[in-house]
Each structure stands twice: as structure tokens, then as C-alpha cells.
Amino acid sequence: MQIDKIISNGVAKAVKALYDIDADAAAIVPQATRKEFEGNLTIVVFPWVKAARKAPEAVGNEIGQWLVDNEPAVSAFNVVKGFLNLVITPTYWNTVLAAIEADSNYGIAEATPESPLVMVEYSSPNTNKPLHLGHLRNILLGASLSNILAACGNKVVKTNIVNDRGIHICKSMLAWQRWFDGATPESTGTKGDHLVGDCYVAFDKHYKAELAELQAKGMTKEEAEAASTVMADARAMLRRWEEGDPEVRALWERMNQWVYDGFDATYERMGVGFDKIYYESQTYLDGKKKVLEGLEKGVLYRREDGSVWADLAADGLDEKLLLRSDGTSVYMTQDIGTAKQRFDDYPIDKMIYVVGNEQNYHFQVLSILLDRLGFSWGKDLVHFSYGMVELPEGKMKSREGTVVDADDLMAEMVNTAREVSASLGKLDGLDEAEVAAVAETVGMGALKYFLLKVDPRKNMTFNPRESIDFNGNTGPFIQYTYARIRSVLRRAAEAGAGGADYAEVVPNEKEIALIQRLSDFPAVVQEAGRSYSPALIANYCYDLVKEYNQFYHDCSILRENDPAVQSLRLAISDATARTVKAGMGLLGINVPERM
């Protein structure tokens, strides 16, 4: 059993024995003792002061003495006001370490048939451009959150909704017809999603040039926009698409396939995937049907112009358009249609949408509407709202072609990782295949870690060079520490070291601190799942390897003469490596065996 649970159960027994209070052990959460006080774990005793009818110090002393007398894991205690600081019996930490070593899936819970099914939607790209830096944060957050929720014992379904219809798609299609002379990914050697993205940028370039020409003739900006022929042609193409025009649909399918092939290559390099992909072109009609059902039931209402609306005044919001007067749908309608298909496909218990914080209002409304339309999980849907990611030079704009392309960024990160690793001598002795593998692992690890270590709710600035640093709170620092530990363990195995019984060894302060940090891992995983925060896992891994490096500096391992002490330190090293690998794995980050 984990040490925090042992203490929680012990305290619950103590308050029952001393004060006849039935305390919920699960609600008793020990915290690491502050460094200025003696102890390993601290309990707040204020919850029982009133019932005990004693001062906080007296309650703390009585509970502490009961634990010393009745719980072998506790050897001493001290009380500071209402805080009970407990000293764990030093050799008991060896028992904790042995339990960690014996658990091949330490910190990772398994789903059962009764586990709730959680669906996580992430990525949600448009098919008019390649994935960019903003998508990277979304995808990495969604993928890591899915891993964490699965590690908390949930059944998880990873989904993606592709925005494959609309005026933005038609802009790329029209541009390809007019200005790209039949270009294909094969004929140009260009990745399909990049080629379509170039078309989108070209449309915007020609559109702006037309507006400038019309304004130069005396039109206002609004008049020029209304008179634009290129925009009128894009709208006409959209109408033809909605009418099922064979020629437009054929071009749409062809160009979308170029994009899907490009997306798949990007996802593969990122190491992410989906259990189910939905397409907006296949869900928007279901959304319209569901809205019309709501209209029949009186949940929604129709205005004189034929448009359909939801009145959200009772929820403190305004009115929301769901179908335009011409019968066409809006984004909200499409989300309702996607929800219907998902509910038909899976017995969803909780739905999590990974979408940026600019859509907070949208998901507030969607939750209310889904609940009104009969989706059991609608009221409790989770909008995993995250902040924007920018570069040091500022924001990005897709239509102007100023975004940071995901493929280019990943390639740059791997190249930079190779250069930095080589300059530091970390690739010495490796053959070319190993060098390439390490550069890929470190470059992608640096990118993922930098984007995931920040509280997802905050905006962030991504600095590629800073993320490759082998010192500080970075992916490469953690990866290098893991490789160092694996090197120590290999040399120990070659020397035949380890295997001695360390149960009676009295661990020193550094060893205890590291074992205690290892013992926190299961609770950190659970909390990351509860609070939807991969950053908790990222920063736990950093704190763990930082603690290990202090231990490595102060405690000899391979040169230790006492076999029992050496075995203890090798067990600590092995448990640390396994926990780092598991934690980084939850973030979708690989760790190199050699570096």
C-alpha cells in the first residue's frame, strides 16, 4: 500500500479510537512536510478539533502519539499549531520502494468493464491548410489527456472531427482551379496538405488585390467586399457543393484526400492517433434533423423569417441561432449532429472537447442545448479550454501564410536536437542510425514537453531553441537523466552488482527524499486526471529527475562497497527510470536508452 494511504487509514483509526469520530480515510490527504520542519508527511488536524473539544496542539499530540504506538510506519512526530508532522520509520521506506519495484504497472490503473467511458475530441483541423503550431498544442494536450485518463482507470475513446466543408474549403478549391495549373502533390513534390494550404493563401492574396483595386476606383472597403467577383465565385462554388454538383464534389474529394494523406504523415511523426474520425460533411445534416426535433418538442422556436433559435434567457444567456432562414446550418448545429452520431456509436459517460479558450461561450451554449435535446452527458460535458500558443515575434495568421507549420517545426526541432546533442558530446560513440534515432527522440521530446509543461489554461510563448536546453525544466534534461540511469544499471548488471537484501538498510536523507517522491506518482496521475492537467505529470517528472541528480551527485552507486546499500541505490535508480518512462509516456514522449 502507498505510504500516504497507510497514513490516511492510520489517522482515521486514531480519531475513531480517541474521539469516536468516523472519519473518511479517503478525505484525509497527507502533504509533504515543509522543509523547515522535521518530518516527511503532514496532517491538518483542524477538522477534528471541534468534536474533540480540545486545542489543535492537543489533538495533534494525541493523534501523533496514537500513531507512534499503533502504526509501525510512524516513528516520531511533532506538532506546529494545527499541523501534525509525522516522521516515517526510516527502514519503512525500503518497504515502500520494494512495493514500487514489484509493481510492473506502478501508478497506472487498469480499466474494468464497469469503468466509465470518456470520449476525448482533439485536433479538429480544417482541410484547407496543413497543421500548425496551434494545432500541435491542441493535439498534444488531447493525446496526453487521453493517456492520463486511461491511466486513471477510464475507458477512453479518442476522436477527431474534421471540418471538411464550408466557404474556406471552397476558397482553396477555386484557387487551385484558377492559378495552380493542375498541380498535384506528386507533380510538385509537395505534401498534399501543404499544397492545399498554398491554394488558400493564394486565394487570400488575389482577394486582397481585387479589394485594393476596387477601393482605388473609389469604393469603400464594404462596397469592395460586396463587389468582389472572386469571393462571389467562392460562394457560388459552396452553393454548388451543397446542391451535390458532381464536378465540385469530385474536386472536393480529391483535394481533401491530399490533405488527409498529409495529416496522417504529420500525426504519425507526432505519435498520435484516433479511434474514430468524424467529418463535418457527414454530421451537419444530422444536426439539422436534431434541431428540427427540438423544434417539434418546443425546446426551440422558429422566427417569422423561418430561422430556428434557442432562447437561453433562463440560463442567463441570450438567444442562439441554430438554422438560418434559408435552412443552412451553423457551427452549433454541426456540433449537435456530431454529438448525435457519437452518442449512437458509443455509450458515452463523459465528453471532453479539447478546444481553445476563444470558444468558451460556444461550449457553454452547446452544453445547455445538448442537455435540452436529450443527451445524458450534455449537461456535464467538459470543455478542456486551453490558452493560445504564440512565438516570440507574436501571433500567427493562416490566410496570410504566417503560421508556423507543424511539419517544418518538427523537422527544425530534430535538426536542432542533433546539433546541440553533438556539440555537447552526447552522440559520441553512436552510429548514424543511433544518432538519427536519438535526434528524433530528443527533438520531438523537447517540442512536446515544452508545450505540455505549462498549465494548459494559460497562454504561452514557444521558443524552439530554449526547449532544447539540456539543463532546466526541459524534455532533453529529463531524457538525458533517464539515459544516465539506464547506463548505470547496465554497468551494474555487467559487474554482477545488486540483488542483496536492503530491507534493514537505514536510508539516508537523499534516499528517503527520492523514495518519497516516487511514492507520489500514483496520486499525481490521479490528480492530473481529475484536473485535466498534463502539466502536473510534466513537472512531476522534472522534479523527480532533479531529485535523482542530487542523489546521484551525493551517493556513490557503482563504487559503494556495502552490497546491501548498493542494492538499495540500484533499486532506487531502477524505480526512478521506470517511473520517468511511465510519466513521460503519458505525455507521449519517448526516452532514449543511450545518449
Last residue of a domain, one of 62, 89, 116: 89
Residue 62 sits in a domain of what CATH number? 3.30.1360.70
* Residues ≥6 apart with Cβ < 8 Å to 103: none
CATH number, domain of 463, equals: 1.10.730.10
Residue 399: per-residue pLDDT = 43
> 171 and 83 in one domain?
no
pLDDT value at position 331? 86
Arithmetic mean of pLDDT over the chain: 93
Residue 191 and residue 71 share a domain:
no
Amino acid type, 394: G
- Looking at the structure, do residues 69 and 186 belong to the same domain, yes or no? no
- In the listed set 89, 118, 135, which residue is the last one of a domain according to the structure? 89
Which residues fall within 8 angstroms of residue 377, CB to CB, at 6 or more apart? 343, 348, 349, 350, 351, 370
Q: Is the pLDDT of residue 543 over 80?
A: yes
Q: Within this chain, do residues 173 and 73 fall inside the same structural domain, yes or no?
A: no
In this predicted model, what pLDDT tens digit does every residue of 105-116 receive, in sequence order? 999 999 999 999
Regarding whether 170 and 59 lie in a shared domain, the answer is no
What pLDDT does residue 426 have? 86
Q: What letter does residue 501 receive in the DSSP assignment?
A: -
Residue 285: predicted pLDDT? 86
Residue 68 shares a structural domain with residue 171: no
Residue at 370 is within a domain: no
* Domain tally, the chain: 3
* 101 is a domain residue: no
Same domain for 569 and 458, yes or no, is yes
Domain-embedded: residue 375: no
Half-sphere exposure of 17 (CA within 13 A, CB side): 14
Whether the per-residue pLDDT at 89 is higher than 90: the answer is yes
Q: Domain residues for 182?
A: 165-272
Q: What is the pLDDT of residue 36?
A: 92
Q: Which of 253, 272, 291 is the last residue of a domain?
A: 272
pLDDT value of residue 1: 61
**What span, in angstroms and rounded, lies between the C-alpha atoms of 595 and 590?**
13
Residue 470 within a domain = yes
Per-residue pLDDT of 60-78, as tens digits, reads 999 999 999 999 999 999 9
pTM for this prediction: 0.91
pLDDT for the residue 48: 96
Asked if residue 238 is part of any domain, the answer here is yes
pLDDT of 398 reads: 42
- Examine residue 294 and state whether it is found in any structural domain, yes or no: no
Q: What is the pLDDT of residues 381-440, one digit of tens each?
A: 999 999 988 877 654 444 444 568 899 999 999 999 999 889 988 888 889 999 999 999
Name every residue whose Cβ is closer than 8 Å to that of residue 431 and which is 6 or more positions away in sequence. none
Give the pLDDT score at 400: 47
Q: Are 463 and 578 contained in the same domain?
A: yes
Is 344 strand, coil or helix?
helix
The position carrying cell 469604393 is 219
| Cβ proximity of 241 and 235 under 8 Å | no
Q: Kindly state whether residue 428 falls inside one of the protein's structural domains.
A: no
With respect to residue 27, please indicate whether it lies within any of the assigned structural domains: yes
